[in-house]
Chain A
Amino acid sequence: MSEPTGRRRGDGALLDALLGPGVPELGCDECFAELDRYVELELARREVDDLVPGMRAHLAGCPACAEEYRSLRDLLGADEVRAPR
């Protein structure tokens, strides 16, 4: 699984930024509404792409939402380390 990223990297990044994911995707508001559920499902190793369709595409196309996604994922990860269940 490749990680959605808003950062420039490699040769195709400019094309990606200009052309977007090119598949159906959520909007920013829907993305925010689903973000907590999505990250928890992902950390529980569930099939997030089936459970929250259009999310991965949006994270690939929207640098700001992708930053918030990574932050929530990493913050929850840090919590797990502090208080393992």
Chain B
Amino acid sequence: MTIPTETAGQAPDESSALWLARLRADGAEREAALGELHELLLRAARFEIGRRRESLSHLRPGDHEELACQTADDALLAILAKLDDFRGESRFTTWAYKFALLEAGVKVRRRAWQGKEIPLEEEAWATFAGAARAERGAEDRELFAAIGEEIERSLGARQREVLVAIALNDVPIDVLAERLHSNRGAIYKNLHDARRKLRAALAERGFELDLYLDRKEER
């Protein structure tokens, strides 16, 4: 998709321009800017790790701070490598924050799943069949049965694996990407293709999916 960028090409605001200039300077000025940026990233990392505390309940308190420091370090490196990509479409600090939040999110999700097996497809199917049986209306049971059949029949092996892991087993995409030696973008592409195929197969069988989804929403 192309994105209309009404703000594209505009110069960064004053404070963002100052950040860029200081980070591209030499010596003491750059050092100072790096220190301030690291502080900012640490704040974002602590914020993110703090709000995901319950998924990290197996960590000791000191581990949270260590994770926050690692996050800030990694985010700082990512930012410095991508400094030329900053187009001034937001404040520099907002742009920088997102790197820390991404790093923190990925680290927290991976920590939370460390040492955990990804559930097998068969287990997921048992859960799915249970959910399908619990549907009250005959129409809903029919739809769930068709979804089960089409997941088996219409999807490629990788598409099925990714859809089952993410949609049925709630495996975080970054955890799945790591185990499959892939990356988030590629795994999401698999997920997206699986969903598209599934929708097409169901539409072909006469299911009006938007009606189902709207009705579910209303309940």
Contact = CB atoms under 8 A, between A and B. Distances in A.
Q: DSSP class of B's interface residues: helix, strand, loop or mixed? A: helix
Given A36-B90, A72-B98, A27 B188 contact: yes
Interface size class of A (residues with CB under 8 A): 35 or more
A39 B196 CA distance: 28
A28 B219 contact: no
Contacts, number: 125
Given A18-B147, A27-B189, A36 B98 contact: yes
Interface string B197-213: 01100000000011011
Contact of B213 (A19, A68, A78): A19
Interface string A1-38: 00000001011101111111010111111101011110
Given A12-B216, A14-B167, A71-B48, A19 B199 contact: yes
Contact of B94 (A64, A67, A74, A76): A76
Is chain A's binding surface mostly helix, strand, loop or mixed?
helix
Interface of A: 8, 10-12, 14-20, 22, 24-30, 32, 34-37, 39-40, 51-54, 61-64, 67-68, 71-72, 74-76, 78
Interface of B: 1, 3-4, 6-7, 44, 47-48, 51, 89-91, 94-95, 97-98, 101-102, 104-105, 109, 131, 143, 147, 163, 166-168, 170, 172-174, 184-185, 188-189, 191-192, 195-196, 198-199, 209-210, 212-213, 216-217, 219
Q: Which 9 A-B pairs have the closest CB atoms?
A: A12-B216, A20-B195, A36-B90, A17-B167, A37-B89, A36-B94, A28-B185, A36-B95, A64-B173
